[in-house]
C-alpha cells in the first residue's frame, strides 16, 4: 500500500502533472487507484475508450498498435496520459511484460478534483500546449494537417449533439462532470432556475 507522499512523487513524474504543486497533487493522490500488473495481462486494447492515466510504479508495460511496438514504459513513466482530455479509442494496446504495480487516475475523478481547484486543470492545459508546440516544431507538415479528413459530416455532428443534449438534460451534471464535458467538447446541461413563487391572492375589499 503506497503512502500519500509516495503517490504524490509518482504522479509528479507524469508529463501532464509535472508542474502541479505537491499540495494540489495530494488531492489527486487520494483518488488514484493502485492496479496490480501481472505478466501477459492486457491493461487495455486499441478499441477501448480512454478513461484513465497510468503511472508505472514497478514492472514494465509494452505499448503497441497492431504488430508494431511503440514503446516500453517502466517505473516512474506514464502511459495513457491523453485519457485525461480525450475519451476516444485508445488507439494502442497496453500489455504487461513484467509483474509490478501501477497507479491509475481516472478521468472522471480527475475532473471532480479539478472542479474544486482549477489550477490543476490550468497546469494540464499548459502541458498540452507544450506538447503541441513541440509537434509543430518537430513535424510542421503533420501538425498543419492535424485532424483533416477525420472530421464528421455536419449532419452527424448535429444528430450526436441532439442525442447528447437529451441524455445530459435527463440527469444534470455535477461540477466535475461539467468540466469533463467541456474539456471533451461536449455540451453541458444548464440547471433550470427554480420556479418563481405565485403572487399572493388579493386581499378582500373592506
**What would the pLDDT profile of 74-98 be if each residue is shown by its tens digit?**
999 999 988 888 888 899 999 999 9
* pLDDT value of position 187: 57
* pLDDT value of position 151: 44
Average pLDDT over residues 37-62: 95
- Which has the higher per-residue pLDDT, 40 or 155? 40
- Please, which residues have CB within 8 angstroms of residue 36's CB and are 6 or more apart in sequence? 100, 101
Q: What is the DSSP letter of 25?
A: H
pLDDT category at 156 given cuts 50, 70, 90 is very low
* pLDDT value of position 170: 46
* pLDDT value of position 14: 87
Separation of CA 67 from chain center: 27
Residue ranges and CATH numbers for the domains of the chain are: 1-184 (2.60.120.10)
- pLDDT value at 147 more than 50: no
Strands (E), 32-92: 33-37, 42-44, 52-65, 68-73, 78-79
- Which has the higher per-residue pLDDT, 38 or 178? 38
- Which has the higher per-residue pLDDT, 77 or 142? 77
> 128 phi and psi, to 5 degrees?
-65, -40
What pLDDT digit, counting tens, does each position of 93-127 carry? 999 999 999 999 999 999 999 888 888 888 888 88
Q: How far is residue 9 from each of residues 5, 56, 119, 159, measured CA to CA in Å?
A: 6, 12, 18, 44
Q: How far is residue 187's CA from residue 170's CA, in Å, rounded to a whole number?
A: 13
Cα angle value 183/187/191 (rounded, 5°): 110
- Residue in the structure block whose three cell numbers are 487516475: 105
User: What would the grid cell of residue 158 be?
Assistant: 448535429
What pLDDT digit, counting tens, does each position of 163-200 carry? 555 444 544 456 666 666 655 556 555 555 556 666 66
Q: How far is residue 106's CA from residue 102's CA, in Å, rounded to a whole number?
A: 13
**What stretch of H or E contains 138?**
helix 118-138
Within a 13 Å sphere around the CA of 10, how many CA atoms are in the beta-carbon half? Answer: 27
Amino acid at each position: 500500500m503506497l503512502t500519500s507522499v509516495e503517490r504524490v512523487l509518482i504522479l509528479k513524474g507524469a508529463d501532464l502533472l509535472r508542474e502541479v504543486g505537491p499540495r494540489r497533487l495530494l488531492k489527486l493522490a487520494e483518488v488514484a487507484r493502485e492496479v496490480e500488473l501481472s505478466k501477459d495481462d492486457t491493461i487495455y486494447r486499441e478499441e477501448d475508450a480512454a478513461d484513465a492515466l497510468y503511472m508505472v510504479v514497478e514492472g514494465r508495460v509494452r505499448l503497441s498498435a497492431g504488430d508494431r511496438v511503440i514503446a516500453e514504459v517502466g517505473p516512474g513513466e506514464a502511459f495513457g496520459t491523453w485519457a485525461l482530455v480525450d475519451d476516444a479509442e485508445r488507439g494502442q494496446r497496453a500489455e504487461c511484460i513484467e509483474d509490478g504495480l501501477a497507479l491509475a487516475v481516472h478521468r472522471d475523478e480527475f475532473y471532480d478534483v479539478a472542479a474544486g481547484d482549477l489550477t490543476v486543470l490550468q497546469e494540464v492545459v499548459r502541458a498540452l500546449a507544450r506538447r503541441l508546440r513541440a509537434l509543430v516544431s518537430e513535424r510542421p507538415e503533420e501538425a498543419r494537417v492535424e485532424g483533416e479528413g477525420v472530421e464528421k459530416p455536419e449532419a452527424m455532428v448535429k444528430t450526436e449533439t441532439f442525442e447528447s443534449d437529451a441524455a445530459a438534460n435527463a440527469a444534470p451534471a455535477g461540477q466535475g462532470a461539467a468540466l469533463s464535458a467541456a474539456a471533451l467538447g461536449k455540451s453541458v446541461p444548464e440547471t433550470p432556475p427554480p420556479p418563481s413563487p405565485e403572487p399572493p391572492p388579493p386581499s378582500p375589499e373592506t
